[in-house]
Structures are given as structure tokens and as C-alpha cells.
Amino acid sequence: MPTVHDWISDPLGVVEGLFAQSNTCPDWEKKVVEYFKEKLKPNDAHTWVPSLNDVPLHYLKPNSLVKFRCMVQDMFDPEFFMGVYETNDPTLDSKVKCGKYKDITEGGQVDFNSRNTVTSERQTFYCVPIPGESQWNSYAGTSQARVVPSTSYVPNRHKRSYEEDDEMDTQPQQMKGIKNDLQSHGNIEPKRQETEAPSHDSSPSHCTSSLDLNFPLPGEKGPACLVKVYEDWDGFKLNDMLEVFGILSVDPALSVIADEREASSLLHPTEGMETVEEQRVHSPPASLVPRLHMLYAQPLVHNNPLLPSRSFYLNFYYIFTLHFKAELLTYLTHVLLGDSLAAEYLILHLISNVYSRRDVLPLGKFTLNLSGCPHSSPYTEHLYKVIQQLVPSSYRLCMSLHNMNNQRMVPRKDYTANRLVSGTLQLANNTSLFLDETQLEQGQLDATGVRNITALGNLITWQKVDYDFNYHQMEFSCNINVLITSEGRSLLPSDCQVHLRPTLNPPNLEEYLSAVQVAQVPSQLNKYRIYLSVARALNYTISDEITKAVEEDFVEMRKDDPQSMSAEDLHRLLVVARLLSLSNGQNTLSRDGWMKAKQLEALRMSRTQQQKCVNGNEP
């Protein structure tokens, strides 16, 4: 039987062992998946597995078990492979080999006329790191894992940097067994290169000799993977967040095969089914885009590594939530220059979530327009840094005229390369999108700018993005928190506008905001991160009694002045009441919670009316 670490360092050995029993156990393939699922069941078992997100590729042992926290950016066409094949090598005891979870056949020349050959089908997903993941998210995942098994695989080199020596010296003692095991395999080292996403522009992109890793956000760094899926691939969707456990394949022969196919296509362009551009995209160098043969994938509802098991964190939340909220409210009040009302609404925005859809209407979204932000100072930049420290994934989009007219926001299909070219709005669920409208200057929006503004408006209103497939558009639902900062009322739609009313006027705004952020120690920030993520995950209900009381209250409010409360106002009030209850640790609406929501909305609307009187030209 495999030892405790054999299934990590040599998962193909486990697969081969179960395949050898295929004559007596026809469902051996199912048993392979069950075996690894069972091994990953213990609470800390996943922490033993090296992560592609945290460890350089050249430190990972080829054909070992690794994990990858990612988003499905594209889905390629299914491909055929030899699930079982027979070789012509007479020196081998068994000529019948398993081809599953591999890219290259092994054991000599393949007998293509063998009756034992079984052709199977698998799907390929192009996966990228979750766009906009905060640095604290990566660090939290690494520190929580407490594992450096991947860095214990050191390729043969004449020289190592001091940083590498220090890293080796500080490895935990309990990992020495893995270290010796991994070092005993003399595998070829694939060179790792620093990969960074280019900036998106609206000009058509054609494949060139340099590989575009197709990250949705400009400036992103990290690995991209071709994930080979063998079972139930219809259960996955584009933009899904996954944690994939699979067998790493970085065989240099993959690059040789791809080069030969490309050369053949150039010499005989009519012979192959794939174009040169498609081959470059679908068969990139394994040293840049490794292959990951999926054994098991866990869909991620969230990507906050600080959250423990659901049953634990819900109990934990009920005990400590009010204390956490009070501290977070104080912190955000300082960040918002003493405006406690804006801080309250910002918390409601950060915990908002599309929990359901009624026809085309997304329920639960709460796009906040924070107006009154100064244009001349770097205030919005500091505000975004604060939010970036609180949420797992975020992106700040400066709405300058240049960005609006040049940035590619909507993904589009490239039929020449047969891939989906990513755009800024191809984001995973629960991402915080920070739209900085204070950067917008006077000028003319061109056709691209108008399309981008329309796409942002559709995202905010309907929580959907229409991907461009040239001859038609395909609608993809999303769940993205949008915060708009502006001087006056935003030109984009929003669910709620709060005009910033500072009560503090520090002589040096930048120094003040930096000091407020530095004052928050990491343990305190972790409390806020747990609080916000759990509040989003809580279920919420309204009893029949409260529903009836709300209906009666709505009729009463419209009695004297029917214009004072519209159906849209009631809907927003119900959303505020829901978020206010959840922020206070209550998963059902009470009469007291309803009254507090009404008071909060009355304060906000009163401030909005006063601001309209000051700026009479505002809508």
C-alpha cells in the first residue's frame, strides 16, 4: 500500500496500481477518484499538497500531485486520447498500459493495431489565477498551509541564490522525508519564466511569436494551466472558481511535439485541422503553461482562506459579529474622514451578494455610489487600498477617457485562434470592482468608449456581461460588487448614492490616511475579513408576520403623499433592511431591524436632498 506521502509524490503509481486490477475491478477509474477524495478528506490533508499559486513551477516535481486555485477562463474543444494502449516492447512483463492522466505514452512503441487499445475523451479548460486576488489572500493561503513540500524539490544546479539557501534551511523538520523522496527523482527541469499579462487595448489581437497568457486583468502575474478534465465536465461553467487537485505534467516533449505540428502546418497548411494560431494557443510550452490532469476539483463559493468550516464559522460569527462590526465601523469612519453614515453604507455594500434571480432581475445586489470624493487628491487611491485589504479579490478601474476608449472590457471570441480573448469584466464571483469616476476628464467617447460604458451599466443593473462572439452576443451572469467613487452624482446607474460629508479636515490627507491604515495590525484586519465574508454567506429569511407588517407600513407611508415612497424605494429599503440585519448577525428581519433601516434611509435621503439644493444642476 502507498505510504502517507506516496500519493502526493507519485500519484501515477497509485493510478497504475489500480489499473493493474482492472481485470478484476472494471470500475477502477471510479476507484482512482474515490481514493484521492478519501485522502483529501481530513481537515488538514489539502495543506500537504503543494500549490501552483504559491510555489515556482521549477520547484515542483513533475508528475506529482499539486493543487491550483483558479478561474476557468476558457473551455477548449474536447480531445481524444489513448486511455489504454499496448506497446511492442518484449522486455516488459505487461505490454498493456494506462494512458489516463498523461500527455505522453510510455514504454516503447505503441501498437496501434492492438485490440486492447481504448480511445477515450477528455475536456480541456484554460485556467488562470483568480483575477484581482489581494496579496493578503495569497499570503494567508500560504501561511495557513504550513507546507513547503514543493520548495523541497531542488533541481540540479551549479549555483543557488542566497534566498533559495535560506528557504531550504528554514524548512520544517517533518518535511525532510518528502524532500529526500522528491530529490531521488532525476527529472528534467522545466525553466520557469516570469509571466505577466499585457495591458488590454481595443485593437484586434493576433497571435504572435510571444505567448499571451490571456489574463483578464492587465498587469496580473501568475501561472496559467491547461486543466485536463476526465469526468463530469458539463458540471463546470466559464468563470467558475475552483481548487483543482491534479497530476502536474511539464514534459518537455510536449513543446517538441507542438513545434513539429506548427512546422507541419506552415509547410502543408491544408493538411491539418488547426491553424498555426490555434496550435500556439492550445499547445503552449509546458514550461510556461503546465498541464494539470484533474483528479478532483472543489468549486469555491468564496476564496477567503481565513474561513474555517462552515458549521464552525457560523457559530463563531454569532458570538463575535457585533464586536467586529463596531470596530470595522470605527475604522471605516476614520477612512471616510469622520462620516459614520457613509461608513455604515460601505459595510452594507461590502457584504451584499446576489442571492437569487427573479426572471432577469438580480436580487441582493447593492451598487454604491460614493459621491463628493475630492478630485485633486489621491483620496480614491487610498480608499481602494483600504478595500483591497478587506476583500479577497478586487480591481480598481480608473475611468479616464483614455481607458474608456482603449481598454478591452468585454471578452470576445477569436475564431482564428479558437479561443476566448479575455476582458477586464471577465471576473470571478464576489470580486469587488472599484470604479474611479473622479479620473474622468472632459472629452469625446469613441465607439469603444460607448460600448465600455454600456457594458458597465449592464453589469451594474443586471449583473451580466454580454460576451462578443462577432455575429452574436452571449450573456453571462455574474455576481460582482461595484463601488463607484465620483465628485458629483455618477453618470453610471447605482442602487444607492451616499454623498460624502467629512467632519475631519487633516492638514495632510495622504499622511492621515496612511497612518489610519498602518494602525490596523494584521490580526485586526483578519477579523474584518472573516466578518465580511461570513456576513455574505449567511442565509436570510423574512417571516410572514414581518412581511405583513412591512406591507401595512408601505401603505401607511403612501397615504399622505403617494410620491414619497415608490415601489423602487420599497425595494431598496428591503435590501438595506436585509443587509443591516446580516451586518448585525441576524439572519431574519425583526421589527426593530425594519425601523433601523427606515431611519438609516431617511438620514441618507435627507443628505441627498440637501446636496441637490446646494448643486441645483445635479439630477
Residues 6 or more apart whose CB falls under 8 angstroms from that of 401 comprise 440, 441, 442, 443, 444, 445, 449
Q: Which pLDDT belongs to residue 153?
A: 40
Query: Would the pLDDT of 269 be above 80?
Result: no
Query: Would the pLDDT of 318 be above 90?
Result: no
Q: Where are the alpha helices (DSSP H) in 147-216?
A: 162-169, 176-183
pTM, two decimals, is 0.86
Residues of the chain above pLDDT 90, percent: 59
pLDDT band at 312 (very low <50, low <70, confident <90, very high): low
Who has greater pLDDT, 184 or 413? 413
pLDDT band at 262 (very low <50, low <70, confident <90, very high): low
Q: Which pLDDT belongs to residue 168?
A: 37
pLDDT band at 574 (very low <50, low <70, confident <90, very high): very high
Q: 3-state class of 250 per DSSP? A: coil
pLDDT in tens, 491-509: 999 999 999 999 999 999 9
Average pLDDT over residues 77-91: 86
**Burial category of 436 from C-beta neighbours within 10 Å (exposed 0-12, middle 13-18, buried 19 and up):** buried
Angle, vertex CA 399, rays to CA 394 and CA 403, nearest 5: 100
pLDDT in tens, 142-201: 434 334 444 444 433 333 333 333 333 333 333 333 333 323 333 333 333 345 566 666
Q: Which pLDDT belongs to residue 21?
A: 86
Closest CA to 205 of 361, 421, 404: 421
DSSP 84-147: EEEB--TTSS--EEE-TT-SS--SSSB-TT-TT-EEEEEEEEEEEEPTTB-HHHHHHHHHHHT-
Strands, E, within 359-488: which ranges? 361-363, 368-371, 394-398, 412-414, 419-421, 432-436, 464-468, 473-477, 481-485
Average pLDDT over residues 433-448: 94
Q: Are β-strands 291-299 and 241-249 bridged in parallel, bridged antiparallel, or unpaired?
A: antiparallel
How many other CB atoms are there within 10 angstroms of residue 595's CB atom? 12
Query: Would the pLDDT of 593 be above 50?
Result: yes
Rounded (10°) angle between helices 340-350 and 591-614:
120
Query: Would the pLDDT of 270 be above 50?
Result: no
Distance from C-alpha of 613 to C-alpha of 619, rounded to nearest angstrom: 11
Least confident span in 169-178, 438-447, 559-568 = 169-178
Nine cell digits for residue 267: 509547410
Reduced 3-state DSSP string for 322-391: HHHHHHHHHHHHHHCCCCHHHHHHHHHHHCCCCCEEECCEEECCCCEEEECCCCCCCHHHHHHHHHHCCC
Query: Would the pLDDT of 210 be above 80?
Result: no
The torsion angles phi and psi of 603, rounded to 5 degrees, stand at -65, -45
Q: Which pLDDT belongs to residue 3?
A: 53
pLDDT in tens, 419-434: 999 999 999 999 999 9
CA atoms within 13 A on the CB side of 562: 0
Q: Which pLDDT belongs to residue 353?
A: 95
pLDDT band at 595 (very low <50, low <70, confident <90, very high): very high
The torsion angles phi and psi of 398, rounded to 5 degrees, stand at -75, 115
Least confident span in 4-18, 363-377, 428-442 = 4-18
Residues 587, 588, 594, 596, Cα dihedral to 10° = -30
Angle, vertex CA 172, rays to CA 166 and CA 173, nearest 5: 115
pLDDT band at 112 (very low <50, low <70, confident <90, very high): confident
Query: Would the pLDDT of 347 be above 50?
Result: yes
Q: Which pLDDT belongs to residue 47?
A: 85
Least confident span in 168-172, 260-264, 364-368, 456-460 = 168-172
Query: Would the pLDDT of 267 be above 80?
Result: no
Distance from C-alpha of 84 to C-alpha of 395, rounded to nearest angstrom: 46
Q: Which pLDDT belongs to residue 137?
A: 82
DSSP 39-50: HT-STTGGGGS-
pLDDT band at 277 (very low <50, low <70, confident <90, very high): confident
Residues 6 or more apart whose CB falls under 8 angstroms from that of 181 comprise 5, 9
Q: Which pLDDT belongs to residue 295?
A: 95
Query: Would the pLDDT of 52 be above 60?
Result: yes
Nine cell digits for residue 363: 436580487
CA atoms within 13 A on the CB side of 86: 13
Residues 6 or more apart whose CB falls under 8 angstroms from that of 441 comprise 400, 401
Any bridge partners for residue 420, and if so which? Answer: 413
Q: Give the neighbor-by-neighbor strand order of the sheet with 496-499.
A: 394-398, 432-436, 481-485, 368-371, 496-499
Residues 6 or more apart whose CB falls under 8 angstroms from that of 531 comprise 317, 321, 324, 325, 328
DSSP state for residue 18 in the 8-state scheme: H
**Burial category of 563 from C-beta neighbours within 10 Å (exposed 0-12, middle 13-18, buried 19 and up):** exposed
Query: Would the pLDDT of 409 be above 90?
Result: yes
pLDDT band at 562 (very low <50, low <70, confident <90, very high): confident
Nine cell digits for residue 36: 484521492
Closest CA to 90 of 106, 109, 105: 109
Distance from C-alpha of 611 to C-alpha of 605, rounded to nearest angstrom: 10
DSSP state for residue 234 in the 8-state scheme: G
Residues of the chain above pLDDT 70, percent: 80
Highest mean pLDDT among 24-38, 172-186, 391-405: 391-405
Average pLDDT over residues 380-405: 96
Q: Which pLDDT belongs to residue 179?
A: 34
**Burial category of 112 from C-beta neighbours within 10 Å (exposed 0-12, middle 13-18, buried 19 and up):** exposed
pLDDT in tens, 508-552: 999 999 999 999 999 999 999 999 998 998 889 999 999 999 999
